[in-house]
Amino acid sequence: MDVVTTRWSARDGWSTPLPGWDGPSTLVLVLGDADLLDDDAPCGPALREVVRAHPSSVVVGCSTAGQVLGADLADGTLTVAVVRFHRSRLVLETAAVSAGASGAVGLDLGRRLHRAGPDLAWVLVLADGTEVNGSALAAGLADGAGPGVLVSGGLAGDGDRFTRTWVLVDGRPTGSRACAVGVYGTDLQVGSGSRGGWSVMGPERRVTRSRGTELFELDGRPALDLYRDYLGERARGLPGTALLFPLQVRTPAQPDRELVRTVLGTDDAARSLTFAGDVPEGSVAQLMRTTTEDLLDAAGGAAAAASLPAGGTALALAVSCVGRRLLLGRRTEDELDAVLDELGGGAPLVGFYSYGELSPAGTSGCDLHNQTMTVTVVREGP
């Protein structure tokens, strides 16, 4: 397995030349800004160059809320990882996606990849960040791919605007789509870790009325009213300021599994909140808060959980939440340093800040996380 990571900027061009490794066993990951949906986007020529250079490779990518390359975080650039596998096989599947159909789409994508071979080891998934139910997509993918398959990736971002996102389909940025890359081979080694660093505050409340990702009532009280009471003057900045106070959710089906949910939108007429994933009726919910140091410690913990034993060339993929970036501000790159410190320089690091992180809560499968640093490390064994 060989890896090259590079970044294009209008000022400097490519930080490292594209390696010229086109072929069916080459994975090309492209991360950029939402403005690539526009024909005159500054990074458009660089994206088209990447696509032209890899006509027979698997080229995937998405828009972001910040692009990660090593310890550097950037906007307005194009970040690319080119991975040439020697003993692994790649299969790409794509589908249109919507919030209501996310579970069925995930299940179909997972089943297609499962049917393509019994040695499926890892699925990299990227999906639209505004037109999707992330928890349903994750559950469907995990069920379709089958037991023992690690599924990870993230939902595309649009900075802090929450307006439009894309994934690459046939080399073009496209909205309302999901793509899943299956990586097959008995030599493939994959590790994953996810940590939030949040602590609960205030009373536990029962979800008394919800529908999918829309939360109407907590303990019989309108959810939007409750959030506004807690945020005080910060409520004027909703939905963005809700990133500072996500919700911990424990579902009736899995009371021991704690998931973090972040507000994506509000509805004044319904007095409701819309989250990136499901908030089922009957769940127990509690507001959360954090500190900078807790976030940094959690980032290091995610990397430590994902680390593989010393060996050959690997790639590390970090997908973190736009909410963490907003909270950390100028210290966001400290989060990346914490990841790199734990990885010990054993793998080039790329990734992005997202609208939802897709990673197992255990050793396989997939869950939607919010406000979480997730790390996946992949390599071919000796």
Q: Which pLDDT tens digits describe the chain residue by residue (382 residues)? A: 999 999 999 999 999 999 999 999 999 999 999 999 999 999 999 999 999 999 999 999 999 999 999 999 999 999 999 999 999 999 999 999 998 999 999 999 999 999 999 999 999 999 999 989 999 999 999 999 999 999 999 999 999 888 999 999 999 999 999 999 999 999 999 999 999 999 998 899 999 999 988 999 999 999 999 989 988 888 888 877 877 888 999 887 777 778 888 887 899 999 999 887 889 999 999 999 999 999 999 999 999 999 998 888 999 999 999 989 989 999 999 999 999 999 987 799 999 999 999 999 766 679 999 899 999 999 998 7
Instruction: Give the chain's end-to-end CA distance (angstroms, integer).
Output: 10
Q: Give the count of beta carbons closer than 10 Å to the beta carbon of residue 320.
A: 32
**Residue with token string 């389909």:** 169
pTM (predicted TM-score): 0.92
For 237, the domain range is 199-289
Domain co-membership, 93 together with 149: yes
Domain co-membership, 53 together with 110: yes
Residue count of the chain: 382
Domain finish residue from 243, 273, 289: 289
Q: Where are the alpha helices (DSSP H) in the chain?
A: 44-53, 102-115, 134-145, 223-231, 292-306, 322-328, 332-343
Domain co-membership, 184 together with 205: no
Domain co-membership, 217 together with 355: no
pLDDT score at 240: 75
Domain co-membership, 74 together with 181: yes
User: What is residue 165's three-state secondary structure?
Assistant: coil
pLDDT score at 262: 84
Number of domains in the chain: 2
Domain co-membership, 38 together with 159: yes
Domain finish residue from 221, 254, 289: 289
